[in-house]
Amino acid sequence: MAASRNGFEAVEAEGSAGCRGSSGMEVVLPLDPAVPAPLCPHGPTLLFVKVTQGKEETRRFYACSACRDRKDCNFFQWEDEKLSGARLAAREAHNRRCQPPLSRTQCVERYLKFIELPLTQRKFCQTCQQLLLPDDWGQHSEHQVLGNVSISQLRRPSQLLYPLENKKTNAQYLFADRSCQFLVDLLSALGFRRVLCVGTPRLHELIKLTASGDKKSNIKSLLLDIDFR
């Protein structure tokens, strides 16, 4: 992996220097979409090429599609690089270690069990950012735990979760309720019916709540956010 990291450092350094001469990196569409891109912990990677003075370099490389900073994901692989079975196995093991502690299915199952609990038993670990079932209480006894979590709070999870603030990876914009309401009213007045919320979970939540509580509202929202929670 050291060789790959050194290669990325070289490309990154050249790109930084090249920015002063109208250079940079561009995403390349693969010639054969049927050939899968290699995977990093964040999913399929993208194919990039370094551009200098409007001319593309001959050698292209794969890098993370989500992280713009190598400190967050240092994946690097030349397009024509052949990896040994041992390196592929090591990469797969690394990707598995970097996955969230609970799968999406497990999170849904936990949520369904959680809402069946009486109010006094609904607890949320603010340290781990996780809903707690009674069997989990002992493991979180030393953590900061919020009790009596209501259904209303669960409908606004951004009020419970800490915001992600890494601007180069997954920065979230948690608008104030007044700002969200203004935006929802504006979207409705302008006649928009489908809204794509990118990194704005509170706006998405309010649109969903408004749609469920107001039969006249037919705005639909889709949230795009790099947040496993």
Confidence of residue 167 (pLDDT cuts 50, 70, 90): low
Specify the CATH architecture of the domain 100-154. Answer: 2-Layer Sandwich (3.30)
Buried b (16+ CB within 10 A) or exposed e, 174-203: bbeeeebeebbeebbeeeeeebebebbbbb
> Domain residue spans in the chain?
2-97, 100-154, 161-229
Whether residue 16 has pLDDT greater than 60:
no
> Cα(134)–Cα(158) distance, rounded to whole angstroms?
23
In 3D, which of 195, 201, 198 has the Cα closest to residue 221? Answer: 195
Question: What sign does the dihedral 119-121-122-126 (CA atoms) show?
Answer: positive
Share above pLDDT 70 across residues of the chain, in percent, rounded to a whole number = 83
> Cα(200)–Cα(168) distance, rounded to whole angstroms?
16
> Cα(168)–Cα(148) distance, rounded to whole angstroms?
35
Whether residue 8 has pLDDT greater than 80:
no
Whether residue 191 has pLDDT greater than 80:
yes
> Cα(21)–Cα(32) distance, rounded to whole angstroms?
32
Buried b (16+ CB within 10 A) or exposed e, 111-123: eeebeeeeeeebb
In 3D, which of 199, 213, 106, 224 has the Cα closest to residue 152? Answer: 213
> Cα(15)–Cα(217) distance, rounded to whole angstroms?
48
Chain segment 199-221, per-residue pLDDT in tens:
888 999 999 988 877 667 788 99
